[in-house]
Chains A and B, each alone.
Chain A
C-alpha cells in the first residue's frame, strides 16, 4: 500500500512539473505583457517596470527563477494587483468558489440520490417518468443557459433573489441551483439504474423470500449497493463543479477563483496565471490521487502492485 501511494505521489509531482513548464512557456508565447494599455507609458517607466518584475531577463532565466520561487512555496506578487500576493488573492477568491462548490455538491448528492431512488421504486410509473424527464432536461440544458434563465425569472422579474453578488445566504440559491442541476440529473439517473439492477438481483429475492423486514432490505442491501456508482462519480463531479463554476461566477458576479482565472489571462498577469494554474492543477491531481486511494480501500479487487490503473 505504501509503495502504491508513493508511486502515485511521484506521478503527481511529475505531472505538476510538466504542467508548470508547459503553462509557463505557452504563457510567455502569447503576445502582450502585463504593462500594456491603450495609453502607452514612456519607455523609461516601462523598462523600469520590466526590471522590477524581472521581465527584462531572458525567458529561460525567468523560468528557473520561478521554479526556485515556487519550490520555496512563494507564488509571488501579482503584476496587475499591485503589491498583493498571488497566494492571498487565490485563497480569498477560492473561499467563495469553495462555499459555492460545497453547497452544490451536497445538494446534488442529496437531491440526485433521492430523486433516483424514488424513480426506481416507482419504476415505469408517473413519478418515475416525471423524475426522468427532469433528469434529461437537467443534462440537456447547459448550466449557463439555466443560470441566465433563473437569474432573469427569480432575480430580475420576481425579485426574490439578488441578481448578482455573494453577500447573504440567499445569494447562494440561484448559483447553487444552476451549478447543481446537471449533477443532480446525472446522479438521479445513475442511482435509478443501479437501484433497479440491485432490486432485481437474486440476493434481494432471497432476502425477500427469507421474509426479511422491508426496511432492512432497503437500507442494508439495496441502497448500500445501489449507491456505489454514485460514490465513484463524486470525484469527477467535484472537479467538474469547481472548474465549471467559472461561467456561473461570471453570470452572477461572484468574485470566485474562476473569475480571477479568466481576468488574469486577459491582463497577462503572469504570476497570477501561474498561481491559479498550479492551484487548479494541484486541486485536480489531489482529487484524483485521493480517489485512487479510496478505490483501493473500497474495492479490494484493484491490484496494488506496480501502481497501474485498474
Chain B
C-alpha cells in the first residue's frame, strides 16, 4: 500500500510538474516577448487589427474585396488619395488639370514619389498597371476592369475589338505626366483614381504570376510595405522609408490577424489584443450591441456611411408585378422599430435609394433631395393592397416568400418584417434563408418574390446607385425595365452639366421608388466600429472603407 501511494504521489508530481514546467517556460517566453513589444511600442507605434478574412490577393488588378481594399490602401498610393472628408487630395500626382469639357485629365506626378525599393514612381508605371487591368489576356481576368471603361477606348481594348493599346486614352507624355482621355465627362473620375484598381504597379512583376503572393516580390509605393504574410495566420506591414510623405506616418507597423468570428474579434478587442474591431472588415455581433453600447460607450463609433440595406421585389413574379401591392408592402412596416430593436446601431430609416454621404451638386445629394418618396401608413397600405388585389382579380393573395442569405442579422430583420406584414397587412409571408451562393443564384435568376439586398457605392456619385437598375445593367436582378429610366441615366452619363445630372437622378429616384416601388428601402448603413481611446487618426470614408495609414497611438 505504501508503495502504491508512493507511485501515485510520483505520478501526481510528474503531471503537475510537467504542466507547471510547460506553463512556466511558456510564460517566461511570452513575458519577454510582450515586454519587448511594449517597450518597443513606446518608441515605435504598432497597431493591431483583425482583418476577418484573408485577402485572396494583393494584386491591385485582381482585388475585389474589402479586406484587400484595407491592406492595399496601406501598401499603395494612387494618383490621388482621400482626405478625412472623402475629398480627393494629391497622392502620387501633386496637381492635375481638367479640360473644360471634362474629358481630358493631365496628372503631374511628384518627382519624389518612390517605390519601396527606391525606384522612382513614373507615369509609365501607371500606364503599365492600367494596361494590365484592361489587357484581355491577363490571367485571371481582372474583375474590376470595367471600372476603367470610362476611359476612351478602354472597353474596346478589353473586349478585344482592338489590340492596339495606343487607341486607349492613357498616355505617359513624360516620366512625370500622365494624360487620360475619357468617353464622357465623369465628375467622379478624379476620386476613382484613389481606388485600388487604379494603383500603379512596379514593372518588375511582368512575367512573374506569383509576385503578389509573397512579400519579397511585392514592391509597393504606399506608406507601408508588406513584410510578413503567413497564410491563414497573420499579415504584417512595416513603414516604408521610401514613401514620399513618410514624415506624416506615425505607425511603424500594422499587424493583422485573420479570425473570421465576430465574437472572437470582440473578445480579443476587450482583452486588448487588438486596437480596432468591427466594420468594414469584421462585424460586431448584433446580439452583443446592447452590452457594447453600455460597456464600451466611449470607444464605439457609429458613423453614417453611404450604403443601403433594402428588400427588392421581383417585378416579373406574382403578386409583385403589381405596383400597388409593392407599395402596400413597402409602407406596412416600421423601419424605426427595426433599427431600434433589431440592428441597434442607430441606422437611419430609408425612404429613398441614395444614402447620405453621397456627393450632390454642392452638398450631399440626400440633403439637396429629401427622401420623402413614400410614408409608413398602415391604413393606406391596406387600401393599396385591396386595390392591387382587385386589379389583379385576386380574392386571396398568392403565397409570398422572402429570401435572404444566411446570417443572424438578416434572419432577425426578416422575421421582424414578416411579423409586421402579418400584423399590419394580414399577409403571411414565409421567410427562407439560403446559403450565399444559392441565394445569389436565385436572386440573379429572378427565382424569388422578395429578396434581401444591400449596396455600397463604387465611387462618390449617385450614378453608382442608379446605373444598377437600367435595363442593360448586369446587376439589375429585379426584372425592372423602363425606357424613361434608361433615358434619364444615359443622359446623365453624357452630360457635363452637374446640375442637370443631379436633376436626372432625382427624377430617376422618383420613378424607381415613388412611382414604381421596385425596391423597398429599409435603412442606410452605419459603420459600427470600436477604437481604443489611445488610437487616433483612423479614417472611415463616405463608403465605409477604412484608412489606417495616418493613425497614431498615444
Chain A interface (Cβ < 8 Å from any Cβ of B): 30-33, 35-45, 48-49, 52-53, 78, 80-84, 89, 92-93, 96, 110-111, 114-115, 117-118, 121-122, 127, 148, 151-152, 155-156, 159, 162-170, 172-173, 214-215, 218, 250-256, 259-260, 263, 266, 268
Contacts and interface: CB of A to CB of B under 8 A. Distances in A.
Contacts of A159: 271-272
Given A82-B62, A93-B232, A168-B33, A163 B8 contact: no
A84 to B, nearest CB: 5
Given A41-B143, A252-B264, A48 B212 contact: no
A219 to B, nearest CB: 10
Contacts of B4: 121, 214
A80 B159 CA distance: 23
A213 to B, nearest CB: 9
B209 A83 contact: yes
26 contacts: A31-B438, A31-B441, A33-B437, A36-B441, A39-B475, A48-B136, A78-B56, A81-B57, A83-B57, A151-B267, A156-B267, A159-B271, A162-B273, A163-B273, A166-B233, A169-B25, A170-B30, A172-B26, A173-B23, A250-B260, A251-B264, A252-B264, A253-B260, A255-B233, A259-B232, A268-B437
Contacts of A118: 8, 11-12
Contacts of B442: 31
A42 B33 contact: no
A164 B441 contact: no
A122 B8 contact: yes
B64 A37 contact: yes
Given A41-B474, A82-B57, A156-B271, A167 B29 contact: no
Nearest to B214: A84
Nearest to A151: B267
B231 A89 contact: yes
Contacts of A43: 474
Closest 5 pairs between A and B when the two form their complex, measured CB to CB: A255-B232, A32-B437, A253-B259, A163-B268, A48-B141
A81 B259 CA distance: 17
A114 B12 CA distance: 8
B440 interface: yes
Nearest to A260: B232
Contacts of B166: none
A121 B261 contact: no
B71 to A, nearest CB: 14
Contact of B259 (A111, A164, A214, A268): A164
Nearest to A252: B264
B507 interface: no
Q: Determine the interface band of chain B, counting residues with CB < 8 A from chain A.
A: 35 or more
Given A83-B213, A215-B3, A253-B264, A164 B143 contact: no
A83 B29 CA distance: 37
B444 interface: yes
Interface in B256-292: 257-261, 263-265, 267-268, 270-273
Contact of A255 (B50, B54, B140, B441): B54
A96 B232 contact: yes
Nearest to B65: A37
A172 B57 CA distance: 28
B377 to A, nearest CB: 32
Interface hub of A48, A114, A159 (most chain B Cβ within 10 A):
A48
B39 interface: no
B14 interface: yes
Contacts of B416: none
A84 B213 contact: yes
B27 interface: yes
Interface string B2-13: 011001100110
A111 B18 CA distance: 10
B257 A165 contact: yes
Interface string B351-386: 000000000000000000000000000000000000
Contacts of B440: 32, 36-38
Contacts of B533: none
Given A36-B441, A253-B261, 9 more contacts: A39-B64, A82-B62, A84-B210, A148-B263, A151-B264, A156-B270, A165-B257, A214-B3, A254-B232
Interface in B136-154: 136, 139-146
Contacts of A268: 437
Contact of A82 (B140, B230, B435, B475): B140
Given A159-B271, A159-B272, A259-B232, A44 B159 contact: yes
B415 interface: no
B150 to A, nearest CB: 14
B433 to A, nearest CB: 14
Nearest to A51: B141
A53 B145 CA distance: 18
B273 A164 contact: yes
B87 to A, nearest CB: 24
B401 to A, nearest CB: 17
A143 B270 CA distance: 23
Contact of B143 (A45, A89, A111): A45
A272 B255 CA distance: 27
Contacts of A252: 259, 264
Given A30-B438, A156-B267, A170-B27, A82 B54 contact: no
